[in-house]
Copies of this chain bind each other. A is one copy, B any other.
């Protein structure tokens, strides 16, 4: 059971990690039901690519599809999105506390050095060495190392 829930979270977060899929979900937010062709129309990629994305969203429990004649209608379903939300809620105090601590710090004596707050700007998107010390030089190329 726990494993199943974990796998469901895997799929929901993975499904939402792609900008095309989030854009598909956003369309379905605007309109209750859309056909596959209507969903595909704004995107520059091929129809089978969109169909693959819809497969991923369906596997994640984020949409349902129903066929009517030759068209397939897609609708949002939200149960698994709610479970992702619940998971994120566990960390709400980390930004709430950060904001609260910021407020408290502003009221303290200015001679008192501020403690580090949790809310921090995100690191730059790059292969990172996010340790506060300067990045050390890369080690020398090694050539084939596999035995």
Contact = CB atoms under 8 A, between A and B. Distances in A.
Contacts of A18: 10
Given A29-B90, A72-B131, A82 B67 contact: no
B79 A122 contact: yes
B119 A79 contact: yes
Interface of A: 6-11, 13-14, 16-19, 22, 25-26, 29, 55, 58-61, 64-67, 72, 75-82, 84-85, 87-92, 94-95, 98, 118-123, 125-128, 130-133
Nearest to A63: B130
A8 B122 CA distance: 9
A94 B76 contact: yes
